[in-house]
Amino acid sequence: MAIRITEPGLATTVQDTGRPGYYHVGIPQGGSMDQLSAELANALAGNTPAEAVLECTYIGPRFTTDTDAVIAVAGAPVDVLVNGTPREQWTRLKLVAGDEVSFGMIRAGTRYYIAVQGGIDVPMVLGSRSTYALGAMGGFEGRALKAGDALDVGTAGLERHASAADFIDESLRPSFAKEITVRVMPGLYDHRLTEEGLNTLFSATWKLTPVADRTGLRYAGPSVSWKPRVQPFGAGSDPSNIVDAGYAIGSIQIPGGKEPIVLHRDAVSGGGYAMVATVISSDMDLLARSAPGTQTTFTPVTMEEALAARDEGKTLRSRIWGSAGQ
């Protein structure tokens, strides 16, 4: 069984839960930017959370299936069309051989996910099917999809089909708001900002610029001030520079004190900018759903609050999978 791509969309890639464990050698964890939406699509399609899905950014693909298939679309709101007829997101869609799927204009957010029962079957690379396009590895030939590509579909999870979720209740779906509050933990280099600079970071409203992709998201807003110092040997001359250090996914750097950048799932693993705070893992999906123009505030939380948020995520996932045994 295969999915044949007739139009690729803007940047459609194969993604899964990611490739953790190699960041220290420069390979990011990657995976679906909005992990929850991808997982919900998998739940609807009768897969496990681990199956690879298609991540569609702003403009989705047009494709046909050469056999009967079960798919689901979850994530950013968009019209789903099967042979030109509108169908629903957040539910299981049955396709027959030859059906063509296409998408309307995205209405909010950034990305929606197409899960196919059985999962997109591309080779595992370092334990994951996720596309890391910058490194030309994983996914379908290490790149975003092109017209003419044919994607194999696996057989994983097919026996679970009967227990899959038929429909995702609205209370379980993420929201795609234009104003969000993102929780961060200060550090490791927050001591390099002045008190005023730190206050600005946590009190200002930051507007997401169009410079936002799988690598990171850049925000516009006021300048933040750094403490003066004689830059140590090995650090750049700007006060936002440090001696090179490892980055964390979710860490916030503010080159030159202007336009903070939050690193996301395909980020580089190290460099010479001070990381003043780090977005908690629970809120990385929220960032991933942010469209350009989203008004964002960064609010500091403690490690205990960050861990409590992670536990809430686990509770949500147990509600999603319920009797499916996840």
Partner 1 sequence: MTDIISPLPGIFYRKPGPDKEPYATVGDRIEAGQTVGVVEIMKQFSEVRSDVSGILETFAIEDSGAVNPGDVIATVTEG
Considering only the C-alpha atoms of the chain, give the largest distance between any 2 of them, rounded to a whole number of Å.
68
Contacts of 260 (CB under 8 A, 6+ apart): 201, 206, 218, 219, 221, 224, 252, 253, 254
State the minimum distance, in angstroms, from the CB of residue 115 to partner 1. Answer: 23
State the minimum distance, in angstroms, from the CB of residue 58 to partner 1. Answer: 4
Nearer to partner 1, 292 or 313 (CB): 292
State the minimum distance, in angstroms, from the CB of residue 217 to partner 1. Answer: 11
Instruction: Confirm if 95 and 71 have CB atoms less than 8 A apart.
Output: yes
Instruction: Confirm if 55 and 15 have CB atoms less than 8 A apart.
Output: yes
For strands 179-186 and 295-300, give the pairing.
Answer: parallel
58 binds partner 1 (CB under 8 A): yes
62 binds partner 1 (CB under 8 A): no
Alpha-carbon span 308 to 251, nearest angstrom? 20
59 binds partner 1 (CB under 8 A): yes
Site for partner 1 in 284-323 (CB under 8 A): 291-293
Contacts of 196 (CB under 8 A, 6+ apart): 225
Query: What mask, x for binding partner 1 by CB under 8 A, covers residues 130 to 159?
Result: ------------------------------
State the minimum distance, in angstroms, from the CB of residue 117 to partner 1. Answer: 29
Site for partner 1 in 161-190 (CB under 8 A): none
Contacting range for partner 1; rule: CB under 8 A; set: 38-46, 52-60, 169-177, 309-317: 52-60
What is the H or E stretch that residue 31 is in? Answer: none
For strands 53-57 and 111-116, give the pairing.
Answer: antiparallel
Nearer to partner 1, 94 or 107 (CB): 107
- For the record, the structure tokens of 138 come out as 């994983």
How many CB atoms are located within 10 Å of the residue 80 CB?
22
210 binds partner 1 (CB under 8 A): yes
DSSP for residue 237: S
State the minimum distance, in angstroms, from the CB of residue 292 to partner 1. Answer: 5
Contacting range for partner 1; rule: CB under 8 A; set: 54-62, 117-125, 147-155, 180-188: 54-62
State the minimum distance, in angstroms, from the CB of residue 82 to partner 1. Answer: 20
Contacting range for partner 1; rule: CB under 8 A; set: 123-131, 208-216, 275-283, 299-307: 208-216
How many CB atoms are located within 10 Å of the residue 159 CB?
9
Instruction: Confirm if 293 and 45 have CB atoms less than 8 A apart.
Output: no
Positions touching partner 1 (CB under 8 A) are: 10-11, 57-59, 105-107, 210, 212-213, 291-293
